[in-house]
Amino acid sequence: MDRKVLSIEGKELRSIELADSVFGREVSDGAIYHAVRNELANLRVGTANTKTRSEVAGSHRKPWRQKGTGRARAGTYQSPVRVGGGIAFGPRPRDYSYKMPRKMKRVAMMSLLSQKTAEDALIVVEDFKVESGKTRDLASILGSLTGSEKTVLILGDDDPMIKRAGRNIPWMSFLNFDRLRAHDLLYGKKVVVTESAAKALNEFYGGKA
């Protein structure tokens, strides 16, 4: 499919060929769901912890004798049924991360790119630099393209000055063409792809899944 390449002022410059297998494929909602779920699970720190009855501080003597008091029998102050006692089956430190099949992850990323293209939310812009590294310079460029909507900028290479300029823009996130994140793409209102990144995406994802 053909897509217009815009200048940083929002004017049409030329056309670029986007691979149908990457930007025009059938959207797999299941793959997108699993990719987002995998990313969120891998971000969980899993440090929640509770003390069991063996870890709670206090005396381990029997509170009262077994028989003759008329009270229910009790063996320890740390019992989970008592106030201040241990927690039965409470959370323990654990690792929530897991691996997702590589092919499914690729399908998810291509589905998201295709979805944004179908919604006319994907914009291809000429390669540009922010030599000053200043937030206002990058904000003015993106303002002419997307306004202030939540934006994902996909770069063809790791440009530290652009990323420095965008650190203080709360509605913006950066992705490299070979390190996409499903969560950012799904919830981004606009996806801005530089011309070099669009060509790299054609090669990186085209024909492999």
Where exactly are the structural domains of the chain? 2-32+102-205, 45-95
CA distance 111 to 31: 8
**Exposed, middle or buried: residue 176 (CB in 10 Å: 0-12, 13-18, 19+)?**
middle
Element holding 172 (H helix, E strand): strand 172-176
Q: Which pLDDT value is given to residue 23?
A: 94
pLDDT class of 90 with cuts at 50, 70, 90? very high
CATH superfamily of 2-32+102-205: Ribosomal protein L4/L1 (3.40.1370.10)
User: By mean pLDDT, which of 47-51, 61-65, 120-124, 166-170 is the weakest?
Assistant: 166-170
- Is there a contact between 13 and 126 (Cβ–Cβ < 8 Å)? yes
Integer Cα distance of 183 and 36 in angstroms: 5
pLDDT at 72: 94
pTM: 0.84
Per-residue pLDDT of 4-55, as tens digits, reads 999 888 888 899 999 999 999 999 999 999 999 999 999 999 999 999 999 9
CA-to-CA distance for 187 and 175, rounded, in angstroms?
Answer: 14
Instruction: Return the pLDDT at 208.
Output: 53
Mean pLDDT for the chain overall: 92
Reported confidence tier of residue 209, pLDDT bands at 50, 70, 90: very low
- What's the confidence (pLDDT) of residue 52? 95
